Amino acid sequence: MTPVIMTVNGAEVSATVEPRTHLADFLREQLLLTGTHLGCEHGVCGACTILIDGEPARACIVYAATCGGRDVRTIEGLADDPIAAALRSAFTAEHALQCGYCTPGMLVSARDIVRRLPDADEDRIRLELAGNLCRCTGYNGIVRAIRRVLAQRPQDVIVAKPPLPRGQFAEVREAAPTVTRADAAPTSTPGDTLKQTLRLALPRETVWRAVCDPALIASCVPGARVTSVNGDRIAGELVASLGPIEARFAGEAIVTYDSHGGQIKAHGRDPASGTRLSADATFQVAEDGPQASTITLDIVYALRGPLAQFGRGPVVRVFAAEIADAVGRNLEARLRGEAIPEAPRLRAGSLIWRALWRWLRGLIGGR
């Protein structure tokens, strides 16, 4: 618990908060200021927009413990504000709300538009409102209400703030870091599909035997673990991390083999984030020469839940290529009897996880 002292609606508030408590929960649950609404709780919908030091901010992605010394003002604190009063009247006159859920945040943003952009036209108002979602009005009434207040030319406009202070930044030595990029070159087709090619300096039969040994393949995938093999069903888990993002997927795959190839159907879930992944893949092991072979994977996948927001297509593809590269290196080392050079942990994100998972499942495919 962290002690914090801030100003809320003009009064000093002293409280003890858990660091993870965001400002909107603090306002609603501890101060009972329930005018601040919570919609998405990840900074997209704007329902929780309040004022911090006079500027609009998302209360759901600011933590109360970091607000020491700040001046917080909620919709309750705008009761006597002249522009807010004019906006309330205009919202009524122009039918700028229906259910009212977005309205507290909408009023805070509308007041900011009126004060900061006194010359805003309809296009600019609509642009500014992009950060406040309303699912009732279609925005027409809201835009009319804001234009009505702007036409009244309120006096309380924002005066330009002073330039930031000048400072000195430490002298530095010029140095570029070494950059490494995966050299695996994935190709792709439209939609949530992924084609991954892995070239190995090993004979086809050696690779095929490895592909048929789920535990061996799993040991080559950083962060992957097989928990049970039951016929063609393989259960396992995969920890994938991409920068700060970490997903721990538990799931199951059904693997079927034909001649030097097969199919994988896999699904998994990260309980912490509620992210779900499902994938269908086909794989083939082809001969490139006496000491060379290629594993190709064609994957169709779906990622649902929080991770999908960050697991955008291009990110997934690049991540998958990096994973394939790591698995290829580890598999070669393993089959040559060398130690696997990298810690068994995948450095990739959600995308990786998907790609990896399917791929892993495929590779794991026990019989």
Partner 1 sequence: MKPAPFELARPANLAEAAAALAQNLGEARLLAGGQSLGPMLNLRLVRPAMLVAIAHLPELGAVAEDADAVTIGAAVTHAAIADGRTPDVGNRILARIADGIAYRAVRNLGTIGGSLCHGDPAADWLTTLTALGASAITWSKTGGRAIPLAHFITGAFRTALAPGEIVQAVRVPRPSSQAHWGYYKACRKPGEFAHAMAAVLDDSARGVRRAVIGAAGGPPVVLEGEQVTPVAAGDALRTAGLDAVARHMQAVALKRALAEAVA
- Which of positions 106-135 make contact with partner 1 (CB under 8 A)? 109, 112, 116, 127-128, 130-132
Q: CA-to-CA distance for 26 and 39, rounded, in angstroms?
A: 15
Identify the CA nearest to 35 among candidates 70, 62, 16, 8: 8
Smallest separation, CB 299 to partner 1 (Å): 13
The tokens describing 198, both together, are 């892995």
Q: CA-to-CA distance for 14 and 237, rounded, in angstroms?
A: 45
- The interface region with partner 1, picked from 29-37, 58-66, 218-226, 257-265 by CB under 8 A, is 58-66
Q: Beta partners for 247? A: 240
Smallest separation, CB 277 to partner 1 (Å): 14
Q: CA-to-CA distance for 17 and 64, rounded, in angstroms?
A: 7
Q: What does the angle CA 67 – CA 72 – CA 76 come to, to the nearest 5 degrees?
A: 145
Which positions from 247 through 276 interact with partner 1, judged by CB under 8 A? 247, 272-273, 275
- Check binding of 319 to partner 1 (CB under 8 A): yes
Which residue from 14, 155, 180, 259 is in contact with partner 1, where contact means CB under 8 A?
A: 180
Which residue from 315, 325, 334, 345 is in contact with partner 1, where contact means CB under 8 A?
A: 315
Which residue from 81, 213, 232, 246 is in contact with partner 1, where contact means CB under 8 A?
A: 246
- Check binding of 62 to partner 1 (CB under 8 A): yes
Which positions from 183 through 222 interact with partner 1, judged by CB under 8 A? 185-190
Smallest separation, CB 112 to partner 1 (Å): 6
- Check binding of 310 to partner 1 (CB under 8 A): yes
Q: CA-to-CA distance for 334 and 200, rounded, in angstroms?
A: 12
- Check binding of 9 to partner 1 (CB under 8 A): no
Contact present, 73 and 125 (Cβ < 8 Å): no
Roughly how many angstroms between the first and final C-alpha of the chain, as a whole number? 52
The tokens describing 184, both together, are 């695996």
Identify the CA nearest to 306 among candidates 269, 355, 278: 269
The tokens describing 236, both together, are 């396992």
Q: CA-to-CA distance for 31 and 39, rounded, in angstroms?
A: 19
Which positions from 142 through 171 interact with partner 1, judged by CB under 8 A? 160-171
Residue bearing tokens 């970490």: 246
- Check binding of 322 to partner 1 (CB under 8 A): yes
- The interface region with partner 1, picked from 198-206, 218-226, 255-263, 344-352 by CB under 8 A, is 344-352
Q: Whose Cβ is closer to partner 1: residue 328's or residue 349's? A: 349
Helix (H/G/I), strand (E/B), else coil: 339: coil
Smallest separation, CB 259 to partner 1 (Å): 29
Residue bearing tokens 């942990």: 345
* Contacts for 191 with CB less than 8 Å, ≥ 6 apart: 300
Which residue from 96, 242, 327, 356 is in contact with partner 1, where contact means CB under 8 A?
A: 242
Which positions from 69 through 98 interact with partner 1, judged by CB under 8 A? none
Smallest separation, CB 366 to partner 1 (Å): 30
Which residue from 43, 154, 261, 344 is in contact with partner 1, where contact means CB under 8 A?
A: 43
Smallest separation, CB 362 to partner 1 (Å): 19
Q: Whose Cβ is closer to partner 1: residue 233's or residue 312's? A: 312
